[in-house]
Amino acid sequence: MTFAANATLADVGEFGLVDELASRFSYGEQVLVGPGDDAAVLAVPDRRLVVSTDLHVDTRHFRRDWATAEEIGHKVAAANLSDINAMGGRASALTVGLAAPPDLPAAWAVGLADGIAAECELVGASVVGGDLTSADQVVVAVTVMGSVDGDPVLRSGARPGDLVALCGRQGWAAGGLAVLARGFRSPRKLVEAYKRPEPPYAAGAAAAAVGATAMIDVSDGLLADVGHIADASGVAVDVDSGAFELAEPLQAVGAALGADPLRFILAGGDDHALVATFPEGTVLPEGWLRIGVVAEGNGVTVDGGAWEGPTGHTHFR
C-alpha cells in the first residue's frame, strides 16, 4: 500500500486511488492498454476492442431539478461515447446500470433511456444490456465498447515539438454550470451546453488518421486534462490563451458574475471537446484549433508561465 492505512478518499485523491487499485490487478495477454487512459484496449480477432466505464451520480454529475430525464440521458451517454472518440475509435455498444430509489417515477427512467438511445444514434451505437437495482440515490453506470483500426491514440505519445490542438466547444458547459448554480437559467446557450454536450464525434478518428500522437477528451477541465497528457508523455505543455475566442455568452456570464470568462475555457469540463497533439507541420483536420505546443520538461503552463487559477474538477473534495 502506497498510503497510510487510515487515509480517506479525500486524503488519497482520485488518481492516487486509481493508481493503487490498478496495481492490484493482473492483466492477460489480451489487455493491450489497461487503466490509466481514456479507455482500455483489448485484442480481439482481426480488430481491437476499446472499453470505458463511467459512474454518474445524482446531484454530483447531474441534477434532476436542472435537466429533464432525456437531457440527462444524452449527457451520460455523451460522456462515455467521448472516451472512445478520444482513442481514435468508434463506439458500437453500451451497457447501462441504473440504481434508484423505489419511489422514482418510472417515466423518469423511460426518459433517461430515450435520451441515451438518441445520443447513441448519433454515432451508430446500440444499448445492448444493463442492470437495475434499488438504492437511496440515483446512480447511472455506463460501459461503452467500440473498436479502433490500427493503433489507438493514447495519452502517452506526445513529444517535444508537437503542436497542441482542440476540437469542439470548450468552456460553455462550465459557464452553464456557473449560471445554474446561482439559480439562473440564462444565457440559454450556456445552460443548454451544460445539460446536453455536443462532443465532436467524428474528430477522434480524423485526428488519428493524420497522425495524432496523443489525445484526451476534456471532461474534468482543459488544463487538468492536458496535464494528463503531459504526465503520461513525460513532457511539458504550454497553452496559448490568445488562441481562444471568448464567445459573447461567456463574456456576458463573466461580467454578470465578476469572473474571468477565460477560466471557463481553461478549467471547464463537461463539453467533451478533444485535445490532441500532432507532429509540427501537420495540416490539422477541419474543426481543429491550434492552442499550444509541447516542449521538454513537465507540467502545464499558460502563455509561458504558471497558471494561478483552478485547472479543473477534483473528485472527493
- Whether the predicted pLDDT of 6 surpasses 90: no
Residue 52 lies in domain: 48-148
* Together in a domain, 293 and 159: yes
- Whether the predicted pLDDT of 207 surpasses 80: yes
- Whether the predicted pLDDT of 18 surpasses 90: no
* Together in a domain, 102 and 118: yes
Percent of the chain with pLDDT over 90: 72
- Which is more confident, 17 or 181? 181
Using DSSP, state whether 33 is helix, strand or coil: strand
- Whether the predicted pLDDT of 1 surpasses 70: no
Q: Are 204 and 266 in contact (CB under 8 A)?
A: no
* Together in a domain, 116 and 203: no
Supply the CATH number for residue 174's domain: 3.90.650.10
The residue out of 100, 120, 148 marking a domain boundary is 148
* Together in a domain, 20 and 95: no
* Together in a domain, 268 and 205: yes
* Nearest in space to 201 (alpha carbons), one of 186, 181, 217, 214: 217
Please give the grid coordinates belonging to residue 277: 497533439
- Which is more confident, 1 or 40? 40
The residue out of 148, 180, 209 marking a domain boundary is 148
* Together in a domain, 282 and 298: yes
Residue type, 145: M
- Whether the predicted pLDDT of 74 surpasses 90: yes
Q: Which residues pair with 127 in a beta bridge?
A: 94
* Together in a domain, 181 and 296: yes
Q: What is the pLDDT of residue 313?
A: 76
- Which tens digits make up the pLDDT trace of 138-197? 999 999 999 998 899 999 999 999 999 999 999 999 999 999 999 888 899 999 999 999
Q: Could you tell me the pLDDT band of residue 306, with boundaries at 50, 70 and 90? A: very high
Q: How many domains does the chain have?
A: 3
- Whether the predicted pLDDT of 315 surpasses 90: no
Asked if the structure places residue 315 within a domain, the reply is: no
- Residues written for the chain: 317
* Nearest in space to 201 (alpha carbons), one of 291, 61, 79, 290: 79
Asked if the structure places residue 314 within a domain, the reply is: no
Asked if the structure places residue 317 within a domain, the reply is: no
Q: Could you tell me the pLDDT band of residue 23, with boundaries at 50, 70 and 90? A: confident
Q: What is the pLDDT of residue 21?
A: 62
Asked if the structure places residue 263 within a domain, the reply is: yes
Per-residue buried b or exposed e for 262-301, using 16+ beta carbons within 10 Å of the residue's own CB: bbbbbbbbbbbbbbbbbeeebebbeebeebbbbbeeeebb
The residue out of 91, 114, 148 marking a domain boundary is 148
Q: What is the pLDDT of residue 17?
A: 66
- Which tens digits make up the pLDDT trace of 208-260? 999 999 999 999 999 999 999 999 999 999 999 999 999 999 999 999 999 99
What value does the mean pLDDT take over residues 298-310? 93
Average pLDDT, the chain: 91
Q: Could you tell me the pLDDT band of residue 35, with boundaries at 50, 70 and 90? A: confident
> What is the distance between the alpha carbons of residues 200 and 284, in angstroms, rounded to a whole number?
15
* Together in a domain, 109 and 25: no
Q: What is the pLDDT of residue 223?
A: 97
Q: At what angle do helices 188-195 and 248-257 cross, to 10 degrees?
A: 100
> What is the distance between the alpha carbons of residues 84 and 80, in angstroms, rounded to a whole number?
7
Q: Could you tell me the pLDDT band of residue 264, with boundaries at 50, 70 and 90? A: very high
What value does the mean pLDDT take over residues 94-100? 92
Cα four-point dihedral sign 309, 312, 313, 314 = negative
Percent of the chain with pLDDT over 70: 96
* Together in a domain, 240 and 262: yes
Supply the CATH number for residue 78's domain: 3.30.1330.10
* Together in a domain, 293 and 217: yes
Q: What is the pLDDT of residue 33?
A: 87
The predicted model scores a pTM of: 0.89
Asked if the structure places residue 311 within a domain, the reply is: no
> What is the distance between the alpha carbons of residues 153 and 277, in angstroms, rounded to a whole number?
10
Q: What is the pLDDT of residue 316?
A: 64
Asked if the structure places residue 117 within a domain, the reply is: yes
Q: What is the pLDDT of residue 15?
A: 75
Q: What is the pLDDT of residue 157?
A: 97
Asked if the structure places residue 31 within a domain, the reply is: yes
